[in-house]
Amino acid sequence: RRALGSLGKSRAKFISAEETTGVTFDDFAGQEYIKRELQEIVRILKNDEEFQNKGIYCPKGVLLHGPPGTGKTLLAKAIAGEAGVPFFAANGTDFVEMFVGVAASRVKDLFASARSFAPSIIFIDEIDAIGSKRGGPDIGGGGAEREQGLLQILTEMDGFKVSTSQVLVIGATNRLDILDPALLRKGRFDKIVRVGLPSKDGRFAILKVHARNKYFRSEEEKDVLLQEIAELTEDFTGAELQNILNEAGILTARKDLDYIGQEELLEALKRQKGTFETGQEDSTDIPEELKLRLAYREAAVAVLACHLPDPYCPIIEVAMIVHRQCHFVSCARVIEEQMFGIDNMCWISSKATLDASRLAEFLILQTGMTAFGKAYYRNQSDLVPNLATKLEALRDEYMRFAVEKCASVLREYHSAVETITDILLEKGEIKAEEIWDIYKKAPQIPQPAVSPVDEYGALIYAGRWGIQGVSLPGRATFAPGNVGFATF
């Protein structure tokens, strides 16, 4: 049992300057501008004279925000590694306890330790756990405690002069929107850096970093293979890319091969896509009824993908498996209705429908490309009168259009849907070339035109994407342990 006396001590992990984090900016690839920005901070922490003479001071706090796995922790460690200063790593959740006063004293303890080792870095991952907006709904309880912890962070950050004590606080979050504005004020986290998903070139660079200790037949082959993986991994994070290479390494060893090849990489990619989309390990025992529904759904998605080709979302292959997501939203719903009847539907398309609705709202509120408005709206219902009602009405129109368009394409290509479904049921997978072949050769049943609704013509765009529901283009939708997957 933990002694009560240690309750108020910070649980931060400490890495001394001598050990160093061992991480440098070379370990972070893609988004080079981020490194350039942070390089300046490193120079100040290192007491670079040129900077001191110019009177440039270190910001007190740097907030890194972006999706999980994009390298925020890595960057924080790299700053410490490059500057050669001690590193205190904490997590926002460490401070959240139900005991009165514990959060605040843990914060105090952490800052006191860091100050005694200054210049040093405090890294607080998931800072939103302690730094979310005050006075909001108290999800999970412990609100008052958390507030005390947050106040203590603010006090600590206000309390030191950067020029002398040089404790740099680095926070990381994927929920910038819920952070208490007080944290973002000048003199606190006054440098905010977005760490986003890598571009294609960024993905290639990240793959190169993680391929450093892996065997490939030649440098040329390595580049060609990694370029291919970079192409196919739209929306992947650095952590996911790293997993692909690790998995490919394991597969290579398992097959007793000397070098990682295309087959291993694609297999690893498949597995990675499977895990993060579905979290499902095995899907061998699918009831027949569900299998049929899934096969129809995959077939419908495949046909829609042929009909609305998207350069970002090449079809690779389609397999029959349980997955809980289908980006061709309306299509998942529509094919169920067409094949099984409106009163005989199940939940398999619910996630997809949710994604589609969100996407529609995004298009309406944030792209500035619709009749709704040229501005960017968040959910600022206090600023725009009747925002919710207007939004809902337009969203429903988008969804109606998407569903109708989908239904029309699926009726037009009904025989292709049936053929692909049969193949999926029989073989469990189908390759992209075969899908294209079936689609092109399928007899069409002409359908009346489906009319868009938006007088700005934006709906052509919105409708297209709405139908596809590609909220996450390039992501696969299939479980691992199965032969194939589709990317849409």
- Minimal distance, residue 229 CB to ligand ADP, in Å: 14
Which one of residues 25, 28, 204, 296 is an interface residue with ligand ADP (CB under 6 A)?
Answer: 28
Taking contact as CB under 6 A, which single stretch among the options 4-12, 65-73, 155-163, 451-459 is the one that binds ligand ADP? 65-73
Q: Which is nearer to ligand ADP, 28 or 485 (CB)?
A: 28
Out of 68, 101, 159, 309, the residue judged to bind ligand ADP by CB under 6 A: 68
Of the pair 130, 154, the CB lying nearest ligand ADP is at: 130
Considering only 30, 81, 171, 274, the residue that binds ligand ADP (CB under 6 A) is 30
Report the side by side order of strands in the sheet with 120-125. Answer: 13-15, 87-91, 120-125, 167-173, 61-65, 191-194
| 15 contacts ligand ADP (rule: CB under 6 A) | no
The DSSP 8-state label assigned to residue 64 in this structure reads E
Polymer length in residues for the chain: 488
Of 66-74, 183-191, 386-394, 399-407, the window that binds ligand ADP (rule: CB under 6 A) is: 66-74
User: C-beta of 111: minimal distance to ligand ADP in Å?
Assistant: 22
Query: What is the spatial distance between Cα 279 and Cα 294, in angstroms, rounded to a whole number?
Result: 17
Single-letter amino acid code for the residue at 481? G
206 binds ligand ADP (CB under 6 A): yes
**To the nearest whole angstrom, how small is the minimum distance from the Cβ of residue 401 to ligand ADP?**
37
CB of 27 to ligand ADP, least distance (A): 6
Please count the CA atoms within 13 angstroms of the CA of 143 that sit on its side-chain side: 9
Cα 146 to Cα 104: distance, rounded to the nearest angstrom = 8
Contact status: 249 vs ligand ADP (CB under 6 A) = no
**Contact with ligand ADP (CB under 6 A): which of 182, 184, 239, 425?**
239
**Smallest Cα–Cα separation from 83: which of 153, 207, 173, 170?**
170
The residue nearest ligand ADP at its CB is: 238
Residue 61 belongs to what H/E stretch? strand 61-65
Neighbours of 22 (CB within 10 A): 11
Q: How far is the CB of 25 from ligand ADP (least distance, A)?
A: 10
For residue 193, the cross-strand partners are 64
Minimum distance from residue 126 beta carbon to ligand ADP (Å): 9
90 contributes a contact to ligand ADP by CB under 6 A = no
Q: Does 209 bind ligand ADP (CB under 6 A)?
A: yes
Q: Does 72 sit near ligand ADP (CB under 6 A)?
A: yes
- Between strands 61-65 and 167-173, the pairing is parallel
- Shorter beta-carbon distance to ligand ADP: residue 245 or 356: 245
Give the closest residue to 448 by CA, choosing from 415, 410, 416, 408: 408
Rank residues 243 and 278 by Cβ distance to ligand ADP and give the closer one.
243
**134, burial (CB in 10 Å: exposed 0-12, middle 13-18, buried 19+):** middle
Q: Which stretch binds ligand ADP (CB under 6 A): 82-90, 238-246, 401-409, 420-428?
A: 238-246
Rounded to the nearest 10 degrees, the angle between the axes of helix 350-366 and helix 329-340 is: 140
**Residues 273, 475 contacting (CB under 8 angstroms):** yes
Angstrom distance (rounded) from CA 339 to CA 399? 20
Q: Is 29 among the residues that bind ligand ADP (CB under 6 A)?
A: yes
Bridge partners of 239, per DSSP, are none
Alpha helices in 18-142 (DSSP H): 32-45, 49-53, 72-83, 102-116, 128-131
Residue 298 appears among annotated catalytic residues: yes
**Whole-angstrom distance, CA of residue 419 vs CA of residue 414:** 9
Least Cβ distance, residue 23 to ligand ADP (angstroms): 8
Count of residues in contact with ligand ADP, rule CB under 6 A? 17
Compose the 171-190 pattern: x for residues touching ligand ADP by CB under 6 A, - for all others: -x------------------
Q: Which is nearer to ligand ADP, 203 or 307 (CB)?
A: 203
Q: CB-wise, 179 or 302, nearer to ligand ADP?
A: 179
Which residues 119-178 are close enough to bind ligand ADP by CB under 6 A? 172
Find out whether 206 and 242 touch, Cβ atoms under 8 Å: yes
Residue 136 to residue 63: CA distance in whole angstroms: 21
C-alpha span between 165 and 175 (Å, rounded)? 29
Distance (Å, rounded) from C-alpha 269 to C-alpha 240?
9
The one among 73, 91, 120, 357 contacting ligand ADP by CB under 6 A: 73
User: Phi-psi region for residue 55, left (φ > 0), alpha (ψ -120 to 50) or beta?
Assistant: left
How near is the Cβ of 186 to ligand ADP at its closest, in Å?
A: 25
Q: Is residue 242 close enough to count as binding ligand ADP by CB under 6 A? A: yes
**CA-wise closest residue to 211 among 191, 221, 226:** 226
CA 187 to chain CA centroid, Å, is 30
Catalytic residue among 247, 264, 267, 298: 298
Based on CB atoms, which residue is closest to ligand ADP, 94 or 147?
Answer: 94
Specify the stretch interacting with ligand ADP by CB under 6 A; choose among 7-15, 235-243, 308-316, 444-452: 235-243
Q: Report the nearest approach of ligand ADP to the CB of residue 214 (Å).
A: 13
> Which residues bind to ligand ADP, rule: CB under 6 A?
27-30, 68-74, 172, 206, 209, 238-239, 242
Catalytic residues: 298
